[in-house]
Amino acid sequence: MPNPTAAILIIGDEILSGRTRDANMYYLAGELAQVGIDLKEVRMVSDDDEAIISTVQALSARYAHVFTSGGIGPTHDDITADCVAAAFDRFIDVRADARALLEAHYTRNGSEINAARLRMARIPEGAVLIDNPVSIAPGFSIENVHVLAGVPAVFKAMVASLLPTLSGGKPLQSQTLRINRGEGEIAGPLAKLAARFDDLSIGSYPFIQNGLFGANIVIRGVDSARIETAMAELAEKFPQ
């Protein structure tokens, strides 16, 4: 059975303006590979309700899982929860269970809940909360969309809460061979190898180091014995 598929949606003007370098996509991509969920597509859009709604709908229809990052805080530009509710035509309001989590948290800290903080308790009808041990305000899953925070520490904590509840397939295995020759010399034999091992994904990732060209050849698949066999043939063709 093929592995379940997934997409990531990163939401936020701060990423598109070049101000902030996204870290969450790279982190989650690695985690998904380990649990056997195949990441097929990533999109990044701005804090714009039409863009978020249409992208959530498109990705939700196409992949088994969609993970969103960003836009669930208390400020005016945090519109993700409302957009995801709109994407599935669900009612959204402050929900009692989420509100109780936040009230207990602010009471413990000697602080108070206010209108802005209550925004973080807005949860679409029928959603399941995702635990946030870092800053309490929860994420949520609705249908196949998992709504996570944008702050990297909180994002990671929510991924840790969520991933064990999703059933993945076989973890993706990979082996890499570094070849200190330009891709132009490698490409011919490599294409033949790829054609014979068409159950594996064989990629060539060129680099330039100290003015010299080389490539990392990465062989990926779910069957480690097959990867070993292909890698042995490759290493024989390109002795280092």
CA angle, residues 14, 54, 97, in degrees to nearest 5: 75
The residues with which 129 forms a beta bridge, in sequence order, are 140
Q: Which is nearer to its own copies, 34 or 167 (CB)?
A: 34
What are the phi and psi torsion angles at 129 (to 5°)? -70, 150
Q: Which is nearer to its own copies, 73 or 168 (CB)?
A: 73
29 binds its own copies (CB under 8 A): yes
Q: How far is the CB of 203 from its own copies (least distance, A)?
A: 5
Q: How far apart are CA 55 and CA 38, in angstroms?
A: 19
Q: Which is nearer to its own copies, 210 or 240 (CB)?
A: 210
Q: How far is the CB of 74 from its own copies (least distance, A)?
A: 4
| Contact (CB, 8 A) for 79 and 147 | no
Pairing of strands 65-69, 145-148: parallel
119 binds its own copies (CB under 8 A): yes
Q: Which residues contact 227 (CB under 8 A, 6 or more apart)?
A: 173, 174, 175, 200, 219, 220, 221
Q: Which is nearer to its own copies, 55 or 141 (CB)?
A: 55
Single residue of 1, 2, 19, 236 touching its own copies by CB under 8 A: 19
20 binds its own copies (CB under 8 A): yes
In 5-142, where does DSSP find H-type helix?
13-16, 24-35, 49-62, 80-87, 96-108, 115-118
Residue 45: other Cβ atoms inside 10 A = 21
Q: Which among 10-18, 82-90, 161-169, 229-237 is the span making contact with its own copies, rule CB under 8 A?
A: 10-18
42 binds its own copies (CB under 8 A): yes
108 binds its own copies (CB under 8 A): no
> Two tokens at 5?
């598929």
Q: Which is nearer to its own copies, 125 or 176 (CB)?
A: 176
Q: Which among 87-95, 122-130, 147-155, 230-238 is the span making contact with its own copies, rule CB under 8 A?
A: 147-155
Task: Compute the half-sphere exposure of residue 235: CA atoms within 13 Å on the CB side of its CA.
Answer: 10
Give how many residues touch its own copies by CB under 8 A.
75
Q: How far is the CB of 183 from its own copies (least distance, A)?
A: 5
Q: Which of residues 193-222 bind its own copies (CB under 8 A)?
A: 194-195, 201-208, 213, 215, 218, 220
